[in-house]
Structure 1
Amino acid sequence: MTPLFDTVLVANRGEIACRVIRTLRALGIRSVAVYSVADAGARHVREADEALCIGPAAASESYLNIDAVLAACRESGAQAVHPGYGFLSENLAFAQALADAGITFIGPNIEALNVMGDKIRSKNHVAAAGVPVVPGIAEPGLSDADLIAAASDIGYPLLIKPSAGGGGKGMHAVWSPEELPATLATARRVAASSFGDDTLFLERLVSTPRHIEVQILGDNYGNVIHLGERECSLQRRHQKVIEEAPSPLLESLGDGGATRERIGAAACAAAASVNYTGAGTVEFLVSNDNPEEFFFMEMNTRLQVEHPVTELVVLADGRPLDLVAWQLRIAAGEKLTVAQSGIELAGHAVEARVYSENPAQGFLPSAGAVALLDESVASRDGVRVDSSLLPGLEISANYDPMLAKVIAWGADRAQALARLDAALRDYVVLGVPTNVEYLRLLLADPDVQAGRLDTNLIERKLPELSFRQLGPAEYAAAALCARGPVDGSADTPWSRTDGWRLGDPAPWRVSCAGPGRTDVVTVSGTLGSGVVRVSLAGGTTGHPARLEGLHDNVMTLLWDGEPRQYRAVLQDGAVVLGSGGWTARIPVLTREEATARMLAGIDHEDAAADPEVRSPMPGTVTVVNVKTGDRVEAGTVLLAVEAMKMEHQLTAALPGTVHLGVTVGALVKADQIVATIEPSEGENIA
């Protein structure tokens, strides 16, 4: 096959860069990766035919640096650039710079980027083309006073949205007039820092909304088709978590596909109004109470994160479809060879996004090294994994926390959901906390199983989700892993550290650091058969346990007569366990560490108020609201730390005088002290 281009540079990172490189390889096109210093060992760097470093870890100095990307194009001889999604994918200046340099931008034309890149402009533009839009006020240059004045006419609840950017970042729901001024100030700050543009607009907040989007393809000859819809209603804070195609809502209408054709036609009209070329997505808000009514939200002028579910269910003239391949073909000047009548949907597909975050601890972003990785579920029927992961890969706090996507296809929705849950159950990432357990809990929810979805469902369900907690069996497993071979090494008396000796085996103890306490595991007998005694916060319980197997990072423990299997790995003085999507990190303490914790009072009840304010995650200080010496009350917001697109506000736990340890722009580590509160005389911190 004659290549469409000789060389294509992929101006992105992570799983999308790997995804694009995979299609380039299949088409015989030479791929060029770019990377920051922090990504020198990244998977996309290894998989590309050539890789060039374009700057430091900060995205603004590397992946968002247009001059650096252009220099990499010149050095590599790239004829075209695929931007992936995020970063420069919808950047008008970048597309123009490529055009000026004679390099093809594998994306839409300048007109489409200009109109659809601004939510206010795009909303007004498509309304003129007859596409229904959400009632609200969308004009450039509106001040806070203008928006407050207009809000009463729109009615509450309403939604504040930034005109620039996407992915739900900077969007805020407001339920009463009293909330609006302060929320506008926050929204402007987030929009300015994230997108360099603090322009805001207001829309009516649709009750029980569904988020349904339509995939379109357009060529340079005026042909535009849609590839069906995707249901993206399972969101948290406007960030999609699980997506599927087709929409269970539209499937349930029983109207012979009439609504699907109407919403598809509206998407095509929106795309045609800007002479759209390439792959794009038109997003709609659909009322769950009146699903025949839908409203334009925005158009994403790029490939979407969730595009695999469309690829898995769409047949074009009876053949599977590769959206990246079509992006390349259209950018090279080819016509669409498939008409709307040639598009059909077959089966159902569901995608789950795997993030480096800790849902059980407020979804705090997490960083660290991948100690154990098993993505073999990708070989199963109907399962696909798009991933950026490698064993030993260091997960940085500098970028988006999405690590991979697990996607499953089935002949119907029930089979697709079952296959996805089974794949997540056996998908293993140890060493950095992920949201896999949370994804499985969502998939098991009765409303999700029944397709009763809306964009607020996750927020309502979160308090009901029961995350698995560490128990005596896990502490026993950690102790046995710490003392036994977990890497397949030979099991001989000379390689064991289980107290083996001539005569009766000696009992041994392992101290493990639990949440706010030190737990001591005492093992008597041998690894093959013995009694494990676990002391948890002062209570001692004896359990008969047998280590059935401990090799190649797979551990089988017979606990109270029941087998329990874990994936296990040693990492930086801790045992990391995984089971069915759940993971836990259990530090194994030296005698000195255990003694120090005990002397520090770790095993006793913590004080009710802590004068030390610590960052819960690694990140960057984005806002400081106070200065050293200020008097603050309990609950005062002191500063904010941002990492992986998430901002976390840190507050004072008690009244007193604040002493700051950081400034705006400072890089902080997880658990780093960023401020302290000195109680006033007579105030008790206990």
Structure 2
Amino acid sequence: MQEKTMFTTVLVANRGEIACRVIRTLRQMGIRSVAIYSDADAGARHVKEADLAVRIGPAAASESYLNIGAVLEACRRTGAQAVHPGYGFLSENLAFAQALDAAGITFIGPNLEALNVMGDKIRSKNHVQAHQVPVVPGIAEPGLSDQDLIEAAEEIGYPILIKPSAGGGGKGMHSVFEADQLPETLKTARRVAASAFGDDTLFLERLVATPRHIEVQVLADNHGNVIHLGERECSLQRRHQKVIEEAPSALLDEATRARIGEAACNAARSVNYTGAGTVEFLVSDDAPDEFFFMEMNTRLQVEHPVTELVTGVDLVEWQLRIAAGESLTVLQSDVVLKGHAVEARLYAENPEQGFLPETGTVLALAESPLSRNDSALLPGLEIGSNYDPMLAKVVVWAEDREAALSKLDAALAQTVVLGVKTNIEYLRLLINDEDVRAGRLDTTMIERKMPDFVFAAPREDELQAAAHFFAAQLIGEQIWDRADGWRIGAHRPLSFSIANGAENHRVTVGDGELEFDGQQLALGVNGLRQQWDYAFDAAADTLWLGRDGVGFALRKRNREELVEAKNASMARAAGSVDPEVRSPMPGTVVSLSVNDGDTVSEGQTLLAVEAMKMEHQLAAAVAGVVKISVRTGDLVKANQILATIHPSESTAAAASANPAGQAQKQEQS
């Protein structure tokens, strides 16, 4: 094959931290980078860092980042000779690769054969099985109806795992433990798969007990050379979405590492694979010498930095070189895994509230110098609900696993993101768990451990700092225009009602002196001085305080809110308020399970809201007649009332007999 010359202009068909990551290597190689962006991303970091940026449509991904025609037009306008798809969006889309090929533009990814075979989980599973690669027992055939899957599940045996044939990232995957759960779960899985990947084809696998998720990075050129760069341990997952990744795995010995690496290379060879790819395996913790093929991701992985840190290989650079026709100069014998690397995914989400996605504005930002920070964060960045909630990756390297985990812990403690709730505190709790430290991992561990994690609450000095801050805001106002009870004579102690999430605190301003220094706020009391990172959201009257990876949004409750809360509390105690079903976050109503006026039972699913590619089912808190306030497709705000339950006569009678208990139940809902 005649070698091509290196590209001079490459378009990055993605957004967020991966777009920034690819642009970084393009800059190092002297290649002009082109970013694309939707209306929601006009001020995004990848747009600012690229040499050139092109708007391709409105916020909806289907009209922008997934719009093949718009991406091709951006290539034409900018003279891009090649496209790097990152991961997600169009990275494994066969039609996109075909369209680029027809336009004479290089797709920085595998050939069409590999995309066609490996881009479909059913096809890929059957393909590698024919090449003597072990697979998990199950049923994987195209066109299976829900009834076909229900019947097959009985033969496979429970528990089972539902998986979408298209896409990845754990979206649409569901564990089912009992037969009566399967029909409704299949409906949800199809809906999520169709929304995320445009394909609702499903298949089933036996759910492997205490599995570990281990994947192998491969590199292959257009001249028949295929190597692997070792494995990554990705067993720490939540809802099949990876949270912590590391390289190498503490589970494998050298002999198993060689065997699983060769199996990955054989899978790549079977489809004449070219570029960077990842072959994913399930490995039983009880039998680490056995492994089962799950899928091949025909793209760069989110967790690729840990492989780069232990091998010294820039995977994006090699993607570009291979796509330009160059031969691999790295031999398998050259690949040596040095030290240990760990990556933590930083999300805009609230772990204390079931990991609900969060939105907001980045008011204060500091990224640790101890870590490699693959990040899309910027001060002032608006975090919306249109895309995946991952904001950044914090990655570290050290001589051994224990040192790497400790270094990651220190880096997370130095990471400051205020203005939007993140999972930083949760990540620190997770990597300091004794089983994680000991390497006793499996893909169900997070669900088991989560109830034991204790999240920090604001301390008394932090509540005092907030009260002093709000008092300082009052002092800055014109004294005669204030309505806070100012009077002649002795000062009346100032007190504030301060909310931290659902918790409310009455705080009276005590002794102390407040100091401000850039992004730092300090409170000195009796010679003791405590300091925090801080930011103030004036529109929401909210003070954000951060320390050691913990962040609090302390909001001053106004007089109208206090009166409303008191009246609502009195009404609930009397049993006269209908329970309200509110959206836990901004999003889109994707399904209604009941009709307006239906009689529903307590705990029955009413509707589903999707935000940041996650679907959340909302249920009735009490039995009664439901009034639905929204329609499928409606955009909703956080805390918006979506449905109201008019309790049945039996429920109302129970409430009258036990008003305090009923009030408590409604409060919890």
For the pair 1:213 / 2:215, whether they are aligned, the reply is yes
Show the counterpart of 2:127: 125
Find the partner of 2:496 among 510, 515, 527. 510
1:482, distance to aligned residue in structure 2 (A): 2.8
Q: What one-letter code is carried by the residue in structure 2 that aligns with 1:631? A: T
1:667, distance to aligned residue in structure 2 (A): 0.5
1:505, distance to aligned residue in structure 2 (A): 7.8
**How many angstroms apart in 2 are the aligned matches of 1:623 and 1:634?**
19
1:676, distance to aligned residue in structure 2 (A): 1.1
For the pair 1:467 / 2:455, whether they are aligned, the reply is yes
Find the partner of 2:308 among 311, 314, 331. 311
Q: What one-letter code is carried by the residue in structure 2 that aligns with 1:356? A: A
**How many angstroms apart in 2 are the aligned matches of 1:605 and 1:445?**
42
1:591, distance to aligned residue in structure 2 (A): 4.2
Give runs of aligned pairs for residues 413-432 of structure 1, distance below 5 A: 413-432=401-420
**210-219 or 176-185, larger mean C-alpha shift:** 176-185
1:550, distance to aligned residue in structure 2 (A): 2.9
**673-682 or 455-464, larger mean C-alpha shift:** 673-682
Q: What one-letter code is carried by the residue in structure 2 that aligns with 1:308? A: P
**How many angstroms apart in 1 are the aligned matches of 2:58 and 2:303?**
29
Q: What one-letter code is carried by the residue in structure 2 that aligns with 1:566? A: W
Q: What one-letter code is carried by the residue in structure 2 that aligns with 1:577? A: L
> 2:578 touches 2:646 (CA, 8 Å); kept in 1?
no
Distance 1:601 1:97, change over 3 A: same
For the pair 1:270 / 2:258, whether they are aligned, the reply is no
**How many angstroms apart in 2 are the aligned matches of 1:659 and 1:552?**
50
Show the counterpart of 2:174: 172
**How many angstroms apart in 2 are the aligned matches of 1:601 and 1:135?**
54
> 1:518 touches 1:594 (CA, 8 Å); kept in 2?
no
**How many angstroms apart in 1 are the aligned matches of 2:344 and 2:609?**
27
Give runs of aligned pairs for residues 425-440 of structure 1, distance below 5 A: 425-440=413-428
Q: Deviations over 1:12-65 (max 9, x none)?
A: 000000000011111111111000001100000101111111001000000000
Show the counterpart of 1:296: 293
For the pair 1:637 / 2:601, whether they are aligned, the reply is no
Give runs of aligned pairs for residues 56-67 of structure 1, distance below 5 A: 56-67=58-69
**How many angstroms apart in 1 are the aligned matches of 2:403 and 2:485?**
49
Give runs of aligned pairs for residues 20-99 of structure 1, distance below 5 A: 20-99=22-101
**How many angstroms apart in 1 are the aligned matches of 2:597 and 2:30?**
64
The gaps in structure 1 that reach 5 residues or longer are 315-319, 491-497, 529-546
SS of the residue corresponding to residue 345 of structure 1 reads coil
**How many angstroms apart in 1 are the aligned matches of 2:33 and 2:336?**
32
**How many angstroms apart in 2 are the aligned matches of 1:511 and 1:648?**
31
1:189, distance to aligned residue in structure 2 (A): 2.6
Q: What one-letter code is carried by the residue in structure 2 that aligns with 1:312? A: L
Show the counterpart of 2:256: 259
**How many angstroms apart in 2 are the aligned matches of 1:459 and 1:453?**
12
Q: Deviations over 1:107-161 (max 9, x none)?
A: 0100000000111110111111121111222111222333233323322222121
> 2:501 touches 2:553 (CA, 8 Å); kept in 1?
no
Count, aligned residues? 641
> 1:518 touches 1:598 (CA, 8 Å); kept in 2?
no
**How many angstroms apart in 1 are the aligned matches of 2:574 and 2:54?**
50
Show the counterpart of 2:327: 335
Show the counterpart of 2:358: 366
> 2:218 touches 2:229 (CA, 8 Å); kept in 1?
yes
> 2:464 touches 2:510 (CA, 8 Å); kept in 1?
no
> 2:117 touches 2:271 (CA, 8 Å); kept in 1?
yes
**How many angstroms apart in 1 are the aligned matches of 2:146 and 2:6?**
50
Q: Deviations over 1:592-633 (max 9, x none)?
A: 544444444499989798521100011010001112111112
Q: Deviations over 1:412-456 (max 9, x none)?
A: 111110110000011000000000000000011000001110001
Give runs of aligned pairs for residues 536-685 of structure 1, distance below 5 A: 547=514, 549-557=515-523, 564-571=530-537, 572=539, 573-601=541-569, 611-681=579-649, 683-684=651-652
1:506, distance to aligned residue in structure 2 (A): 7.1
SS of the residue corresponding to residue 326 of structure 2 reads coil
Q: Deviations over 1:366-397 (max 9, x none)?
A: 0011111111x1x33xx200100110100010
> 1:574 touches 1:588 (CA, 8 Å); kept in 2?
yes
Q: What one-letter code is carried by the residue in structure 2 that aligns with 1:408? A: V
> 1:506 touches 1:524 (CA, 8 Å); kept in 2?
no
> 1:473 touches 1:559 (CA, 8 Å); kept in 2?
no
> 1:99 touches 1:105 (CA, 8 Å); kept in 2?
yes
**How many angstroms apart in 1 are the aligned matches of 2:11 and 2:567?**
57
Show the counterpart of 1:458: 446
Q: What one-letter code is carried by the residue in structure 2 that aligns with 1:305? A: V
SS of the residue corresponding to residue 251 of structure 2 reads helix
> 1:482 touches 1:570 (CA, 8 Å); kept in 2?
no
**How many angstroms apart in 2 are the aligned matches of 1:672 and 1:511?**
23
Distance 1:515 1:149, change over 3 A: closer
**How many angstroms apart in 2 are the aligned matches of 1:13 and 1:232?**
23
> 1:610 touches 1:654 (CA, 8 Å); kept in 2?
no
**% same residue:** 67
SS of the residue corresponding to residue 311 of structure 1 reads helix
Q: What one-letter code is carried by the residue in structure 2 that aligns with 1:407? A: V
1:183, distance to aligned residue in structure 2 (A): 2.5
Distance 1:657 1:122, change over 3 A: same
Distance 1:437 1:562, change over 3 A: farther
Distance 1:680 1:80, change over 3 A: same
Distance 1:514 1:15, change over 3 A: closer
SS of the residue corresponding to residue 328 of structure 2 reads coil
Q: What one-letter code is carried by the residue in structure 2 that aligns with 1:342? A: D
SS of the residue corresponding to residue 291 of structure 1 reads strand
**How many angstroms apart in 2 are the aligned matches of 1:364 and 1:563?**
35
For the pair 1:197 / 2:199, whether they are aligned, the reply is yes
Distance 1:514 1:215, change over 3 A: closer
> 2:138 touches 2:206 (CA, 8 Å); kept in 1?
yes
Show the counterpart of 1:448: 436
Show the counterpart of 2:509: 523
1:338, distance to aligned residue in structure 2 (A): 1.0
**How many angstroms apart in 2 are the aligned matches of 1:390 and 1:607?**
47
1:576, distance to aligned residue in structure 2 (A): 1.0
Show the counterpart of 1:541: none
> 1:34 touches 1:45 (CA, 8 Å); kept in 2?
yes
SS of the residue corresponding to residue 268 of structure 2 reads helix
Find the partner of 1:157 among 148, 156, 159. 159
1:654, distance to aligned residue in structure 2 (A): 1.5
**262-271 or 598-607, larger mean C-alpha shift:** 598-607
**How many angstroms apart in 2 are the aligned matches of 1:606 and 1:659?**
22
1:510, distance to aligned residue in structure 2 (A): 3.0
Show the counterpart of 2:251: 249
> 1:112 touches 1:276 (CA, 8 Å); kept in 2?
yes
For the pair 1:280 / 2:263, whether they are aligned, the reply is no
SS of the residue corresponding to residue 248 of structure 1 reads coil
The gaps in structure 2 that reach 5 residues or longer are 477-483, 656-661, 663-669
Q: Deviations over 1:244-265 (max 9, x none)?
A: 0000111xx4xxx111000000
Q: Deviations over 1:238-293 (max 9, x none)?
A: 0000000000111xx4xxx1110000000000001001111000000000000000
**How many angstroms apart in 2 are the aligned matches of 1:522 and 1:42?**
41
Distance 1:609 1:233, change over 3 A: farther
**392-401 or 586-595, larger mean C-alpha shift:** 586-595
1:584, distance to aligned residue in structure 2 (A): 1.4
Give runs of aligned pairs for residues 225-236 of structure 1, distance below 5 A: 225-236=227-238
For the pair 1:7 / 2:46, whether they are aligned, the reply is no
Distance 1:562 1:636, change over 3 A: farther
Q: Deviations over 1:457-497 (max 9, x none)?
A: 10100110111123433221211233449xxxx9xxxxxxx
